[in-house]
């Protein structure tokens, strides 16, 4: 028997979702149903709303969420109703070559079926409306009161963790801290710059602080973000809109060039800046995702002579079952500040306004809190 739930649905010709009632089928084999407590609004959601990427539509939006398991489908053994979970946007099949290599964040079936098809692992959707099939987004679709996800896309966490805040561990924090710890393996004493001080960039800054980097330079075109960046560990800041040559300005801060530069924005110019600002043996880490079809250039001779590297980091190279509970623990131990990254809480009805805030640089992370009584918009 299908549930009727409110959800944010983006149709093929719209740039903002409508909040409508949709039908959600019960969990199938190897799937679980989760009542969403809160969903985070991420830069990738803006790419979806701008149609920068080929995402099957209509789609129930959202890929960052946390909540409580409310039902389990046949064959589910690792979760039970009542479990608290953070959702992962790369569920893993456990059987493909990448899963068998111990790289669940590169699961081939999650990429080829779930992400590309907008469906669950069996190739079908649980979402319908007036007889029409709607698509899942990355197997999560957290901008909804209730969702059905693959069992491996719901990561059980400790029950004393605040279910609204830990939502952002599912994308921003996993992506940012994971890029530092798993992809780049930043060592103590290293010098780091982070381009973009939004949800992912601030998570990179926190990861660099946890790694005991000696310098952490926050680069952003909006200096309003620097207070939070400093509180989370940035030692230096650079307003890239105030200088003609940001690479030269970075070199003025760290004259020998940087050991690691993280591009948490994903634009041609930010990727090129990340490479240009490297010192000897440095690594540029591409974390922010660009629109489809863009290109960046670099000087390969300089790269080779300086033993530099360019690293792609998708989802922070995290093993969700290993890393998400660990990141929640770090928060509960007071070592990872999640509240500082949340700039506002809004009800689901205001999903479109939350996207506006993000697009116009007024928000860090906005949480869409299900059944929230009041409104609290962006404040920086």
The site for Zn ion (CB under 5 A) is made up of 42, 44, 92-93, 96, 99, 107, 109, 171
Say which of 37, 63, 107, 203 is annotated catalytic.
63
How far is 271 from 13, CA to CA, in rounded Å? 30
Of 318, 50, 76, the residue nearest 178 (C-alpha): 318
**Closer residue to Zn ion, CB minimum distance, 109 or 161:** 109
Task: Pull the structure tokens for residue 9.
Answer: 């649905």
Say which of 47, 51, 128, 321 is annotated catalytic.
47
Closest distance of CB 171 from Zn ion, Å: 3
Catalytic annotation present for 171: yes
Say which of 42, 93, 96, 107 is annotated catalytic.
42
Say which of 44, 92, 317, 353 is annotated catalytic.
44
Closest distance of CB 72 from Zn ion, Å: 21
On the CB side of 152, CA atoms within 13 Å amount to 18
What is the number of helices (H) and of strands (E) in the chain? 12, 18
How far is 246 from 262, CA to CA, in rounded Å? 14
**Closer residue to Zn ion, CB minimum distance, 278 or 336:** 336
Catalytic annotation present for 93: no
Catalytic annotation present for 42: yes
Catalytic annotation present for 47: yes
**Closer residue to Zn ion, CB minimum distance, 107 or 161:** 107
**Closer residue to Zn ion, CB minimum distance, 146 or 365:** 365
Closest distance of CB 57 from Zn ion, Å: 18
Closest distance of CB 365 from Zn ion, Å: 10
Say which of 171, 313, 317, 331 is annotated catalytic.
171
Strands (DSSP E) contained in the chain are 3-10, 18-24, 31-41, 59-60, 65-72, 84-87, 127-129, 132-133, 146-150, 154-156, 191-195, 215-220, 236-239, 258-263, 278-286, 309-312, 342-347, 365-369
**Closer residue to Zn ion, CB minimum distance, 330 or 358:** 358
Helices (H), 162-220: 172-178, 199-210
Count of other CB atoms within 10 angstroms of residue 241: 10
Of 50, 224, 62, 244, the residue nearest 153 (C-alpha): 62
Closest distance of CB 44 from Zn ion, Å: 4
- Catalytic residues, by residue number, are 42, 44, 47, 63, 171
């Amino acid at each position: 028997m299908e549930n009727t739930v409110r959800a944010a649905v983006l149709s093929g010709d719209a740039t903002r979702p409508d909040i409508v009632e949709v039908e959600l089928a019960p969990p199938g084999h190897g799937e679980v149903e989760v009542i969403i407590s809160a969903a985070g609004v991420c830069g990738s959601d803006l790419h979806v709303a701008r149609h920068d990427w080929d995402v099957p539509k209509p789609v129930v939006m959202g890929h960052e969420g946390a909540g409580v398991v409310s039902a389990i489908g046949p064959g589910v053994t690792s979760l039970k109703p009542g479990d608290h979970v953070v959702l992962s946007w790369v569920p893993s099949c456990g059987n493909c070559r990448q899963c068998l290599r111990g790289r669940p964040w590169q699961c081939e079936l999650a990429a080829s079926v779930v992400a590309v098809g907008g469906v669950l692992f069996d190739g079908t959707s649980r979402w319908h409306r007036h007889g029409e099939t709607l698509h899942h987004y990355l197997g999560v679709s957290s901008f909804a009161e209730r969702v059905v996800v693959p069992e491996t896309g719901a990561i059980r966490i400790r029950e004393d963790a605040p279910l609204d805040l830990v939502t952002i561990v599912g994308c921003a924090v996993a992506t940012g801290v994971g890029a530092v710890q798993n992809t780049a393996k930043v060592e103590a004493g290293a010098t780091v710059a982070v381009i973009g001080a939004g949800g992912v960039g601030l998570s990179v800054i926190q990861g660099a602080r946890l790694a005991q980097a000696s310098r952490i330079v926050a680069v952003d075109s909006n200096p309003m973000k620097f207070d939070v960046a400093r509180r989370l560990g940035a030692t230096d800041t650079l307003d890239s809109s105030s200088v003609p040559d940001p690479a030269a300005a970075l070199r003025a801060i760290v004259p020998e060039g940087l050991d690691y530069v993280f591009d948490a924005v994903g634009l041609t110019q930010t990727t090129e800046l990340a490479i240009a600002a490297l010192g000897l043996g440095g690594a540029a880490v591409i974390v922010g995702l660009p629109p489809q079809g863009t290109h960046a250039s670099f000087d390969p001779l300089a790269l080779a002579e300086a033993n530099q590297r360019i690293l792609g980091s998708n989802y922070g190279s995290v093993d969700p079952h290993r890393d998400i509970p660990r990141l929640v623990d770090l928060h509960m131990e007071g070592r990872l500040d999640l509240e500082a990254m949340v700039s506002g809480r809004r009800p689901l009805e205001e999903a479109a306004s939350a996207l506006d805030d993000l697009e116009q640089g007024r928000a860090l992370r906005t949480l869409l809190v299900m059944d929230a009584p009041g409104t609290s918009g962006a404040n920086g």
